[in-house]
Amino acid sequence: MSDRRARSLRDRIEGRLLTALALLTSVVLVVAFYYPVGTVLIEAVVVDGVATLGVFVELVRDPFYFGELARLFAGESPLAVARALLGPERRLGIVGFTAYQAALSTLASVALGLPAAYLLARFEFPGRRTLRSLTIVPFVLPSIMVAVGFVATFGTNGTLNSLLSALGLPPVDLLFSLQAIVIAHAFYNAPLVARVTTAAWESVDARAVETARSLGAGPVRAFVDVVAPQVYPAVLTGAALTFVFTFGTFPIVLALGGFELATVEVFVYRLVRDLNYAEAAALAIVELVISLGVLLAYLRYEANHTVSARGARPLPRKSLLPSAATARELLPRAGLAAYVVVAATLFLAPIASMILASVTGGDGALTLEHYRFLLDRQRTGAAFQVRPWPAIRNSLAFASAATLIALPMGVVVAVLTTRRYRGRTLVDAAAMAPLAVSGIIVGLGLLRGLVFGVEIAGWRIAASGAVAIVVAHAVAGYPFVVRTVAPGLEGLDRSLIESARALGASRARVIRDVELPLVWPGVVAGAAFAFAISVGEFTATVVLATGTDAYTMPVAIERFIGRRLGPATAMGVVLLVVTGLSFVVIDRLGGESRGL
Amino acid sequence: MTADTDATRETDPSARRADRRAERSTRRRFLSLGGTAGVLALAGCSAERTGDGGDGGDDGSDGSADSGGSDGESDSADDDGGDETPTLTVATYSSFIDAPSVSPGEWLKDTFESRVDAELEWVTPDNELNYYIERAASGVSVDADLYVGLTTEDLVRVDDQLDDDLFAERGDVAGFDDVRDGLRFDPFDRAVPFDTGYVSLVYDGTVTEAPETFEGLLADEHGGALIAQNPGGSSTGRSFLLHTIHRFGDGGVASDGGGETVAGTDDDPDYDYLDYWADLQANDVRVLGSWEDAYTAWSNGEAPIVVSYSTDQVFAADAGEDLQQHQIRFLNDQAYATPEGMAVFADADEPELAREFMSFMLEPEVQGEIAQRNVAFPATDTATLPEEYAELAKEPDEPVTFTYDELQGSVSEWIEAWERQYAGN
């Protein structure tokens, strides 16, 4: 009797858990994102206390930003504009160019990320799990480190050109061009595509493939009909996220391209620096609309193209060594070998250059002086100076805490956005907005909304320091959890959930015991991304750490940038090692699979 | 506050200054901190009782000593009530106290504290002066006594954005008479210059010989040779752009923003800075983002000439590098001067202590130390500097710079016009 009562109480609590978590998530989003960002964006439409659309009208009619499209907004006939767009003299405008380079960067990232996913998901080799864990390391590197690595690798006197000339080949002139930007964006984002795709591929149920094969489908047919539809959404996830990130790209464009290739965010930065908030906010809204548009278009596609899956007994991995000398065995492996050469050049060489720069002195000789600097600064640095160890400690603590908050937030939102109901698009858009708002605007908003706080009934409520940083990081990272978990949830066979419910399990229980285990690789990937976002985050951290010792590794790197980049690169290598180890630990903690 | 920008841009600058002063007396701070009633120490969250519209610093012209003082007395917990050592809170940019090589912060703190019975606290908000402009505009107390590292442009921006004064009048600062002519950049006598730098070309003498004039940079032999920085994001880049405007004139760009037209010194009224930059761009100049971007690219041999500071050899000698690879060139024997100043916040808690600190900063020995540790030049002509410093830190025959009045209403227009020409996609 009492047993049953206890159970019904637990059921009730579990039943409410989901609602409570959803409420809590909304509160966190409003406090640490919507309200702060709103204080800035409103300036685009309220000028001098008067509501106006004037700033927008001027902006969209400005050919500098909108190119030929501006003429459309200015009232010219669509036909004339279309003709101009097809003409040789067409102007894209800053917004158009930003979208163009983001599209190219997305293509490059997908092209470079997919083979890595194939390798990691389908083959077995020593060090595979560690390699999979390390794939997202580039994701956390500060842009100045990437710039150092790229100049040293692809520059006029870089490693690549030395290699080419040693082979008797002509040098390549890669730097300060659109190509350099696209490659740098791929450096950051191909790992993202690879990681989410690997997670999805590992969730493909082997039984489905076996069934297809037993029904007479060839390997290609089985791949196209069974595997591809389940991997496809993840590839699109990676592509959509890459587009959004590279659309809001900023320092790397100027470091490796130059001002001819300036993107929208460059202007947002300048306008905010000059305190021209109306125009900055208007531009940021334009960015937001385009980025959200892409995300929503993708979400719509995802919702309409899911394939039901019943479980996750992963496909058996193949050996890297061909089992027979047939074309079908040799060809994929030869392709992968070629890919590994390209990947080594694009991903490993810049990182190796970065490490080399950290042990190279002003005279070009090898030295440990930059690491000695870190030790000296740790020992003798003044209390008001940034020291390496607190930076490492804070980074790890913030990232761990942010991940633990981002996971339940992301899972709850993923559950809510994979149900079918009216207004779901709105919830989707609201949940994904943290990915799409300009980082510069978020920073300014956090300063106003949290550091300065709000006045309520004669009290000024403000928040800064460690807890605020953790929450801000969780908000920035949780959309990744949503995006790595939701596609799997969407594809789950509803009958599994319905039968569990029919047997009396609460909604929360079904999620915990049935749904999450089935999409576990996605959960682990989401955790890794949430962690990575926190470790790499800079703007929100410096804004919220004002006046406290809550600085992190990217802040230390920025502080250690001097005339020579040695000390900063040494700190960059510390970041590389610490986060690399963390990713390995996260993946080990997460386990290979909790599949049935 | 920010909303004022566009509306006032139309008006005459002098009228706007008058406006600002008139408004100051009528406008009340939206709210002010009248003593901390309580602090919710819960996890970085704080709640403070805001004032009921009292005079917690609504007017800066009287130095706000009284309002600040009463503030300090009412909250005894974390502030200096009574006989305790007062704390001077000095805001500055981060490399002033925390650069990987040298920075003056620690020496200044130790020396000042050894002389004066006070504690010096450095604060370095990431967005520097804009952080305090934001605070003032949002009606939050400024919480610092002094700002170190003001530029002419900063003052123009402050005065454009805020109706109330952010800074107090200079007041009595010993040694101010020693400040060199041409460095006193604040027409309203708030900022006290403490050092200056010069933006010049740095080139690798083993690869090229930099031209002696602006026109020389357009020669074929210097095609692709120069790396500069984005004037919208980097102060070095901005200084170089301003130097080209000083040389070639602005072609009337500034008059659109209510600024004064600059004629230039090149005797050609039809050739302005935009024409020069079009020619530079045609000669394959690189405009990268930050000074670090540019200097990294230059150090790796991407191009032999970079826009940087005339103190480059001080660092190079320090690092044991070949000085032949670190040559300085002053185009037309000129360089753009970037004087840095300090000023007391209008609602400082310790305005007199802040002025004592400013006097301290101008002492001959301190001036010499600041120059060496900040790798810059002293603001006074009485500074004591070792002789070899002058051999490495080069000064131009003719420093040039724009005044407050010349920059007001102009600098944004100049940069925007340049952006629109240079990045036309």
pLDDT at B204 (0 to 100): 97
Q: Find the domain containing B83 and state its range.
A: 4-196+339-392
Residue type, B32: S
A443 versus A219: the higher-pLDDT residue is A443
Q: Looking at the structure, tell me whether residues B260 and B273 fall in a common domain.
A: yes
Judge contact between B364 and B346, C-beta under 8 A: no
pLDDT at B81 (0 to 100): 46
Instruction: Give the DSSP letter of residue B346.
Output: T
> Could you tell me the two tokens for A270?
């300048």
> Could you tell me the two tokens for A204?
């493909």
Q: How confident is the model at residue A300 (pLDDT cuts 50, 70, 90)?
A: confident
Residue A492 has pLDDT above 90, yes or no: no
Name residue A50's beta-bridge partners: A47
Contact A447 B425 (CB under 8 A): no
Q: Nearest Cα to B230, choosing from A255, A538, A283, A438?
A: A255
Query: 3-state class of A51 per DSSP?
Result: strand
Q: Looking at the structure, tell me whether residues B180 and B270 fall in a common domain.
A: no
pLDDT in tens, B408-417: 999 999 999 9
pLDDT at A312 (0 to 100): 56
Q: How confident is the model at residue A396 (pLDDT cuts 50, 70, 90)?
A: very high
Which of A34-43, A393-402, A495-504 shows the lowest per-residue confidence on average (mean pLDDT)? Answer: A495-504
Chain CA centroid to CA B233, Å: 13
pLDDT in tens, B216-258: 999 999 999 999 999 999 999 999 999 999 999 999 898 877 7
pLDDT at A323 (0 to 100): 84
Q: How confident is the model at residue A363 (pLDDT cuts 50, 70, 90)?
A: confident
Q: How confident is the model at residue B44 (pLDDT cuts 50, 70, 90)?
A: low
Q: How confident is the model at residue B50 (pLDDT cuts 50, 70, 90)?
A: low
CATH of the domain at B414: 3.40.190.10
How far apart, in whole angstroms, are the C-alpha atoms of residue A132 and residue A575? 18
Q: Nearest Cα to A488, choosing from A512, A521, A519?
A: A519
Give contacts of B49 with chain A, Cβ < 8 Å: 458-460
Query: 3-state class of B145 per DSSP?
Result: coil
Long-range contact pairs involving A121-125 (C-beta distance under 8 Å, separation at least 24)? A121/A197, A121/A198, A121/A201, A121/A202, A121/A317, A122/A201, A122/A315, A122/A317, A122/A318, A123/A317, A123/A318, A123/A319, A123/A320, A123/A336, A124/A317, A124/A318, A124/A319, A124/A320, A125/A319, A125/A320
pLDDT at A2 (0 to 100): 63
Residue type, A476: A
* Strand pairing class (B87-92; B146-150): parallel
How far apart, in whole angstroms, are the C-alpha atoms of residue B67 and residue B56? 5
| Interval A220-247 mean pLDDT | 90
Contact B301 A157 (CB under 8 A): yes
A188 versus A83: the higher-pLDDT residue is A188
Q: What residue spans of A362-421 are helical by DSSP H?
A: 369-380, 388-417
Mean pLDDT score across all residues of chain A: 89
Interface of A with B in 466-505 (CB under 8 A): 466-468
Phi-psi region at B389: left, alpha or beta (left = phi > 0; alpha = psi -120 to 50): alpha
> Could you tell me the two tokens for B362?
């101008």
Give contacts of A96 with chain B, Cβ < 8 Å: 425
- H/E stretch holding A30 reads none
pLDDT at A324 (0 to 100): 85
Phi-psi region at A470: left, alpha or beta (left = phi > 0; alpha = psi -120 to 50): alpha
Q: Looking at the structure, tell me whether residues B172 and B289 fall in a common domain.
A: no
pLDDT at B68 (0 to 100): 34
| Interval A47-72 mean pLDDT | 90
Judge contact between A158 and A170, C-beta under 8 A: no
Q: Looking at the structure, tell me whether residues B14 and B56 fall in a common domain.
A: yes
A538-577: burial string, b at 16+ Cβ within 10 Å, e else: bbbbbbbbbbeebbbbbbbbbbbbbbbbbbbbbbbbbbbe
Dihedral sign computed on CA atoms, order B291, B296, B297, B303: positive
Give contacts of A448 with chain B, Cβ < 8 Å: 134, 138
pLDDT in tens, A546-566: 767 899 999 999 999 887 888
Interface size, chain A vs chain B, as Cβ–Cβ contacts under 8 Å: 207
Of B52, B126, B293, the CB nearest to A147: B293
Neighbours of A374 (CB within 10 A): 23
Taking the CA of residue A290 as centre, how many other CA atoms within 13 Å lie in the half-sphere pointing to its CB? Answer: 22
User: Between the CA of residue A359 and those of A372, A380, A573, B302, what are the distances in Å?
Assistant: 11, 22, 10, 21
Sequence-separated (6 or more) residues with CB below 8 Å from residue B271 = B248, B249
Judge whether A326 is closer than 8 Å to chain B, CB to CB: no
Please give, rounded to a whole number of angstroms, the shortest distance from the CA of A146 to a CA of chain B. Answer: 11
Contact A147 B100 (CB under 8 A): no
* Maximum mean pLDDT: which of A67-71, A470-474, A494-498: A470-474
Chain CA centroid to CA A300, Å: 20
| Interval B206-215 mean pLDDT | 96
* Maximum mean pLDDT: which of A243-247, A506-510, B123-127: A243-247
Residue B65 has pLDDT above 50, yes or no: no
Q: Looking at the structure, tell me whether residues B192 and B243 fall in a common domain.
A: no
How far apart, in whole angstroms, are the C-alpha atoms of residue A55 and residue A43? 10
Judge whether A89 is closer than 8 Å to chain B, CB to CB: no
pLDDT at B53 (0 to 100): 41
Please give, rounded to a whole number of angstroms, the shortest distance from the CA of A269 to a CA of chain B. Answer: 8
pLDDT at A307 (0 to 100): 64
Contact B44 A464 (CB under 8 A): yes
pLDDT at B14 (0 to 100): 40
* Closest residue in chain B to residue A50, using alpha carbons only: B3
Sequence-separated (6 or more) residues with CB below 8 Å from residue B224 = B283, B284, B285, B286, B303
How far apart, in whole angstroms, are the C-alpha atoms of residue A523 and residue A527? 6
Judge whether A47 is closer than 8 Å to chain B, CB to CB: yes
ipTM of the complex: 0.91
Sequence-separated (6 or more) residues with CB below 8 Å from residue A346 = A112, A183, A186, A187, A190
Residue B143 has pLDDT above 70, yes or no: yes
Q: Looking at the structure, tell me whether residues B410 and B318 fall in a common domain.
A: yes
Instruction: Give the DSSP letter of residue B184.
Output: -
Contact A562 B101 (CB under 8 A): yes
* Closest residue in chain B to residue A380, using alpha carbons only: B106
Q: How confident is the model at residue A91 (pLDDT cuts 50, 70, 90)?
A: confident
Q: Looking at the structure, tell me whether residues B180 and B139 fall in a common domain.
A: yes
Give contacts of A360 with chain B, Cβ < 8 Å: none
Residue A319 has pLDDT above 60, yes or no: yes
pLDDT at A592 (0 to 100): 57
Q: Looking at the structure, tell me whether residues B333 and B345 fall in a common domain.
A: no
Contact B296 A176 (CB under 8 A): no
Residue A132 has pLDDT above 80, yes or no: yes
How far apart, in whole angstroms, are the C-alpha atoms of residue A220 and residue A207? 16
* Strand pairing class (B334-337; B198-203): antiparallel
How far apart, in whole angstroms, are the C-alpha atoms of residue A159 and residue A138? 19
| Interval A404-412 mean pLDDT | 95
Judge whether B99 is closer than 8 Å to chain A, CB to CB: yes
Q: Which domains does chain A have, with CATH numbers?
A: 11-44+92-376+390-590 (1.10.3720.10), 50-91 (no CATH)
How far apart, in whole angstroms, are the C-alpha atoms of residue A491 and residue B4? 53
Q: Looking at the structure, tell me whether residues B415 and B266 fall in a common domain.
A: yes
Residue B8 has pLDDT above 50, yes or no: no
Name residue A366's beta-bridge partners: A360
B12 versus A558: the higher-pLDDT residue is A558
Helices then strands, counting H and E runs in chain B, come out as 15, 14
How far apart, in whole angstroms, are the C-alpha atoms of residue B390 and residue A296? 62
| Interval A280-295 mean pLDDT | 95
Residue A489 has pLDDT above 50, yes or no: yes
Phi-psi region at B332: left, alpha or beta (left = phi > 0; alpha = psi -120 to 50): left
pLDDT in tens, B358-407: 999 999 999 999 999 999 999 999 999 999 898 999 999 999 999 999 99
Contact A461 B46 (CB under 8 A): yes
| Interval A52-70 mean pLDDT | 92
Residue A211 has pLDDT above 90, yes or no: no
> Could you tell me the two tokens for B81?
């009530």
Q: How confident is the model at residue A218 (pLDDT cuts 50, 70, 90)?
A: confident
Q: Looking at the structure, tell me whether residues B211 and B187 fall in a common domain.
A: no
Contact B2 A43 (CB under 8 A): yes
Q: Nearest Cα to B331, choosing from B307, B365, B304?
A: B307
How far apart, in whole angstroms, are the C-alpha atoms of residue A516 and residue A212? 26
A383 versus B58: the higher-pLDDT residue is A383
Which of A424-428, A573-577, B32-36, B171-175 shows the lowest per-residue confidence on average (mean pLDDT)? Answer: B32-36
Model pTM?
0.89
* Closest residue in chain A to residue B38, using alpha carbons only: A459
Q: Looking at the structure, tell me whether residues B243 and B307 fall in a common domain.
A: yes
pLDDT in tens, A520-553: 888 998 999 999 999 999 999 999 997 678 999 9
Please give, rounded to a whole number of angstroms, the shortest distance from the CA of B352 to a CA of chain A. Answer: 23
What is the percent of chain A with per-residue pLDDT over 70, rounded to a whole number?
97
Judge contact between B252 and B193, C-beta under 8 A: no
Mean pLDDT score across all residues of chain B: 84
pLDDT at A311 (0 to 100): 58
Residue type, A51: A
Q: Looking at the structure, tell me whether residues B90 and B232 fall in a common domain.
A: no
pLDDT at A551 (0 to 100): 94
Of B50, B161, B420, the CB nearest to A458: B50
Please give, rounded to a whole number of angstroms, the shortest distance from the CA of B178 to a CA of chain A. Answer: 31
